[in-house]
Amino acid sequence: MNLNDTDLEFLMQLYDKALSHIADKSKSDWAEDFVLSLADYGVNVADNAKEIGEHDEYLDEAVELFLEHNEEEESWVDEEDDWDE
């Protein structure tokens, strides 16, 4: 799912509201959970990575981790496909 500017702005406002209630030591975990939740609900994180990552440093790190993990997963799946040949 691609987000329009209004959708993304709304989600970032929700993120910020919750972030203000989270201890500093847990903010990275919250950002990672937030990005995973976006993906679970069908948001194409890769297509929206720039906008999400630019919001704050925690989201930037979380998006990078998410994309790295998905790239590794896709690579593993591609290798599995080669075995079928």
Task: Give the model confidence (pLDDT) of 41-85 as tens digits.
Answer: 999 999 999 999 999 999 999 999 999 998 876 665 555 555 555
- Average pLDDT of 14-25? 97
- Average pLDDT of 21-40? 97
Q: Give the Cα separation of 24 and 80 in Å (integer).
A: 41
pTM: 0.82
Asked if residue 62 lies in contact with residue 31, where contact means CB atoms within 8 angstroms, the answer is: yes
Token output for 16: 């910020």
Asked if residue 64 lies in contact with residue 53, where contact means CB atoms within 8 angstroms, the answer is: yes
Q: Give the Cα separation of 25 and 23 in Å (integer).
A: 5
pLDDT of residue 77: 52
Q: What is the Rg, in whole angstroms, of the alpha carbon atoms belonging to the chain?
A: 15
pLDDT of residue 31: 98
**Termini Cα distance of the chain:** 33
pLDDT of residue 1: 79
pLDDT of residue 71: 83
